[in-house]
Structure 1
Amino acid sequence: MGFDALALQLLNGLSHATTLFLMASGLTLIFGVTRIVNFAHGSFFMLGALWSAHAVTNWWPAMADTAWGYGAVILMGACVAALLGAVTEVTLLKRMRHAPQLYQLVATFGLTLALHDAMRWFFGPEEVFAPRFPGLKGAVQLGESYFPTWQLFTLALGPLVWLGLHLLLTRTLWGQRVKAATQDREMLAALGVNPAPLMLGVVMLGCGLAGLAGALQLPREPAHLQMDVNVVVETFVVVVTGG
């Protein structure tokens, strides 16, 4: 294998690693605070992708003409996933908090099926091909090969998101409470901190990261109804491997 092919495979792997990092970070945050293995995490990834894809192709196609408009749509996809995460926390996860882990897993798996059918009804069963991101439509030449500029952008975005999460969890009072909740929720409640809003915020953040990861897939692959299962398995592998 030549150097060009090796560099291309390395960049492809790192670009995909950004997606898995966003997914695994959200899943780890939710599990760390709520102690619930959210098997439906891939559904929020798929929601971010489908919502953003329809937004730039069917609902507001003019927003795909500018980088600011397209970027706003991607962020809105993450926000929609975060809002659905809030509804999920209030209606399901909160009720399952003290249930056995097997029941929690079955409940979130059932949520996956329900969300899959709901998104198929709302968005339709067809794949959605979104346009390229304005200003990042080209490719960078690596010898005789080419690597998409958009994937270079997502590759650079991963460390920035990590830095933001690091500062949020280490430099803010909210982040310190989140870390304390992962260690001992009962003690945190005994110290006068209401854990309910904290858990709601963590679930919204985790689901928002999943929606952001899904929305970032658009310029390089179509949004479809099999995205949730495809990515959630890899996400669990990353979480388990990374501890």
Structure 2
Amino acid sequence: MVDDIAVQALSGAGSGMVLFLVASGLTLIFGTLRVANFAHGSFYMLGAYLAFSVTRLFSGQPFGFWLALLLAPLAVALLGAAIQRYLLRRIAGRPHQYQLILTYAVTLILADTVKLVWGRDNHTVPRPEGLGGAIDVFGAPFPAYYLLPVGVGLAAAAALGLLLARTRFGKVVRASVADGEMLGALGVDVPRLNVRVFALGAWLAGLGGVLAAPIGSISPGMDSAIVIESFAVVIIGGVGSVAGALLGALFTGIAKSIGILFAPKLAIAFVFLALCVVLVVRPQGLLGRSA
């Protein structure tokens, strides 16, 4: 039983890292732009579908998945930049319900676009060569592919931490959160900064979608589940905190995975029970700050 729990926990860490990539983009966008982006799950879904198309185009080639891992998130980032530049910027300063309605409308448009282009059938993406088998963990087989999202997630967490703490871009982003108007008065192009932040958040969601594609099937509607879980992770970890998103995503992934082992029908309930506890005990999240 202990071996089974260990393997499930490792599997949960793999899926939790995918969730972290999506949630970190969401918390970055919300923390900086104050936009509750309901279309964020659509970016994740598009990343998965684009990965399917690229790997299918280069079927039989060992580099197909790796090419998808490079190109699909970039395409999603460009789409995110266009949405922020040509749609969200036009309603900046208006009440938040305008943003909610607009991003929800984008979700519906992208969902229908996916059905139009790829159909309603489920699709699968083969695991890359060398990561299709299993490794031995405590005497039990463990999918080798899960090591990839764990490694990419940890690398992304470290890179985001350095980006926000040590670079000029990160300092400007943090200054924008504190006082965007003053930052603009100092000569910084705040609208352009917002486009870059939104594109980075979309890129992270697309990257998560590519990494998730070989784990399960790709289907319309996969955006809904991930965006709900991502909002839960952001709230548990603390809005605007990348470290909090990492902690919340790992907790969510491991809790779901172990919950499946003991109570499959109630696995997701443990996550939202933890969310309720955090909201009551520490409303700003585990690593968030009080307003």
Structure 2 residue ranges without an equivalent (≥5): 239-291
Amino acid at match of 1:175: G
- Is 1:60 the counterpart of 2:55? The answer is no
TM-score normalised over the length of structure 2: 0.79
**Per-residue deviation at 1:101?**
1.1
The 5 Å alignment of 1:98-113 reads: 98-113=93-108
Equivalence for 1:42: 41
Partner secondary structure for residue 141 of structure 1: strand
Paired with 1:123 and 1:182, the residues of 2 have a C-alpha distance of 39
Equivalence for 2:68: 73
Equivalence for 1:86: 81
- Is 1:138 the counterpart of 2:136? The answer is no
Equivalence for 2:169: 174
CA deviation string 1:24-53 (max 9, x = no partner): 110111112211110110000000000111
Equivalent pairs: percent with the same residue?
40
Pairing partner for 1:215 from 210, 214, 222: 210
Paired with 1:41 and 1:166, the residues of 2 have a C-alpha distance of 21
- Is 1:236 the counterpart of 2:231? The answer is yes
**Per-residue deviation at 1:156?**
2.2
Partner secondary structure for residue 142 of structure 2: strand
Paired with 1:32 and 1:192, the residues of 2 have a C-alpha distance of 22
Paired with 2:138 and 2:34, the residues of 1 have a C-alpha distance of 48
Pairing partner for 2:91 from 96, 99, 105: 96
Conservation of the 8 A alpha-carbon contact between 1:27 and 1:41: yes
Paired with 1:104 and 1:53, the residues of 2 have a C-alpha distance of 31
Equivalence for 1:11: 10
**Per-residue deviation at 1:144?**
4.6
CA deviation string 1:76-106 (max 9, x = no partner): 1111110110111112111122121122111
- Is 1:195 the counterpart of 2:190? The answer is yes
- Is 1:28 the counterpart of 2:27? The answer is yes
**Per-residue deviation at 1:241?**
1.2
Partner secondary structure for residue 87 of structure 2: helix
Equivalence for 2:248: none
Conservation of the 8 A alpha-carbon contact between 1:36 and 1:97: no
CA deviation string 1:93-145 (max 9, x = no partner): 11122121122111111110011001111222211111121111111122452
Q: May I ask how many residue pairs the two structures share in their alignment?
A: 238
Conservation of the 8 A alpha-carbon contact between 2:54 and 2:67: no
Paired with 1:60 and 1:140, the residues of 2 have a C-alpha distance of 27
Structure 1 residue ranges without an equivalent (≥5): none
Paired with 2:160 and 2:210, the residues of 1 have a C-alpha distance of 19
Identify which of structures 1 and 2 has the higher relative contact order when contacts are C-alpha pairs closer than 8 Å and 6+ apart.
1
Pairing partner for 1:161 from 146, 153, 156: 156
Mean CA deviation greater in 130-139 or 199-208: 130-139
